Amino acid sequence: MIKEKLEKFDKIVVTAHQSPDGDAVGSSLALVHYLKAKGKEAVVILPDAIPPFLGWLDGVADILYFEKDAALSTQLINEADGLFILDYNDLKRVGEKMGKAIEETDAYKMMIDHHLHPTDCVDWMLSDTNSCSTAQLIYEFIEDLGDLDLINNSISEGIYTGLVTDSGSFRFPSVKAKTHLIVADLLNRGLNHAKIHESLFDVNSLDKLHLLGYCLNEKLKVLPNIPVAVIYLSSAEQLVLKNKKGYTEGLVNFALSVEGVEMAVFLREDDKKVKMSFRSKGDIPVNEFSSKYFSGGGHKNAAGGVCFDGYEKSVEKLETVLYEFFETL
C-alpha cells in the first residue's frame, strides 16, 4: 500500500525530533535523497539546528528549521501530500508549534521509528523497537520498495551516519547481523566509511576537548554502593567552557566506561530545564527509570529525561531516585 501511496505524492516533507542527533539527521537526509531520486519534491524540516559535527552531510544546507522560519515551514507542511515522521513517535518531540502544524496538515503521515510506545498520530507506521536505528529502517524501507539500486553515495552516507552514531559504533546489543549486512552492501556500493568516522569523531575544537577534560577530571563521580557514574554540568560551567551544540554528545558513554559501572547519567542544565542522558549495560532498563522519574523514555540501554526543578534540586533528586531504583532491581 505504501508504495502506491508514494507514487501519487509530489510534495513530501521529512521531519525529525528536537535536538537532532546523527540518526535523526542521517535518516532524514538519506530519505530525502531517495525521494528526490524517485522524482519527488522533498525537503527536511527540523525543529531546531543540528550539531556542527554533522554539517558535512550532503543536503545539510537545504534543511529548514522551524524555530528560524516557522512561516515557510508551516506553509510547506500544509502544502505537502505526504509527511514523514522519523526517529520520534510522539508529536511532543518536535515542540508545541511544529507539532500543531503537523497535526493540522492534511498530508498523509508516515512514521519510521524504533522507539517504544509509538502514539497513534500517523496514517502509516513502520515501527521496530528491536532495530538499532531509524537509519537501518530507512534502508529496509528502500529495500522493501525494491529500490536498492537507487542508493547513491549521499543516501549511503546518511544511512551509515545514523547506524554508527545510534549503535555506539556498532557495539550496542540492538546491533544484529542484518545491521552488518547493510553496511556491507553500502561498502560494496562505494561508501567511504573511514571518511565518515573521521568527520564524526576525529574533528574536535580545542574548546570541546577542554570541556571533555574538565568533565572527566572535575565532574565525573561514581556513586557509593551502586554501580552508577554521573557527570553534572551547570549553565555557569558551560558558559565558562564555551559549550556549543554537540560538544557534549557521547559524554555519558565515558562515564559508562568506568570499570564496575553499569549505569551512567549525564545531567546538563539547559534553558529553564535540566536535561539528562542515561546509558546502561545488560538488563538495567534506563528507559523505565527515565519514564518513572523524569518524564522521559527511550530504549532499554539508552534513554533521556528532563527535570524542571532547577539545577541543584535536579541533582539532588537524581541521586535520591537512583538509590530507590536500584533497590527495586
The DSSP annotation for 145-169 comes to TT-GGG--HHHHHHHHHHHHHHTTT
Please give the pLDDT value at position 81. Answer: 97
Please give the pLDDT value at position 1. Answer: 84
- DSSP label at residue 275: E
Give the number of residues written for the chain. 329
b/e burial code for range 227-238 (CB count within 10 A of at least 16 → b): bbbbbbbbeebb
Q: Which CATH architecture has domain 206-328?
A: Roll (3.10)
Region of residue 246 (phi > 0: left; psi between -120 and 50: alpha; otherwise: beta): left
Count of Cβ atoms closer than 10 Å to residue 310 Cβ: 14
Please give the pLDDT value at position 297. Answer: 87
Count of Cβ atoms closer than 10 Å to residue 258 Cβ: 15
> Are 55 and 161 within 8 A, CB to CB?
no
Instruction: From 190, 193, 143, select the one nearest 163 (Cα to Cα).
Output: 193
What is the residue whose three cell numbers read 545488560? 282
Region of residue 170 (phi > 0: left; psi between -120 and 50: alpha; otherwise: beta): left
Burial class (CB in 10 A: 0-12, 13-18, 19+), 34: buried
Alpha-carbon span 228 to 322, nearest angstrom: 8
Please give the pLDDT value at position 7. Answer: 95
Alpha-carbon span 48 to 53, nearest angstrom: 15
Model's pTM, two decimal places? 0.93
End-to-end CA distance of the chain: 44
Count of Cβ atoms closer than 10 Å to residue 61 Cβ: 7
Alpha-carbon span 296 to 289, nearest angstrom: 8
Alpha-carbon span 12 to 79, nearest angstrom: 9
One digit per residue, the tens of pLDDT, for the chain of length 329 reads 899 999 999 999 999 999 999 999 999 999 999 999 999 999 999 999 999 999 999 999 999 999 999 999 999 999 999 999 999 999 999 999 999 999 999 999 999 999 988 999 999 999 999 999 999 999 999 999 999 999 999 999 999 999 999 999 999 889 999 999 999 999 999 999 999 999 999 999 999 999 999 999 999 999 999 999 999 999 999 999 999 999 999 999 999 999 999 999 999 999 889 999 999 999 999 999 999 999 998 889 999 999 999 999 999 999 999 999 999 98
Q: List strand residue ranges (DSSP E) for the chain, in order.
A: 11-15, 41-46, 64-65, 82-86, 108-113, 124-127, 220-222, 228-233, 263-270, 273-280, 297-298, 302-307
Using CA of residue 263, residue 243, residue 69, residue 5, what is the dihedral sign?
negative
* CATH number for region 2-201: 3.90.1640.10
Domain boundaries, the chain: 2-201, 206-328
Name beta bridge partners: 266. Answer: 231, 277
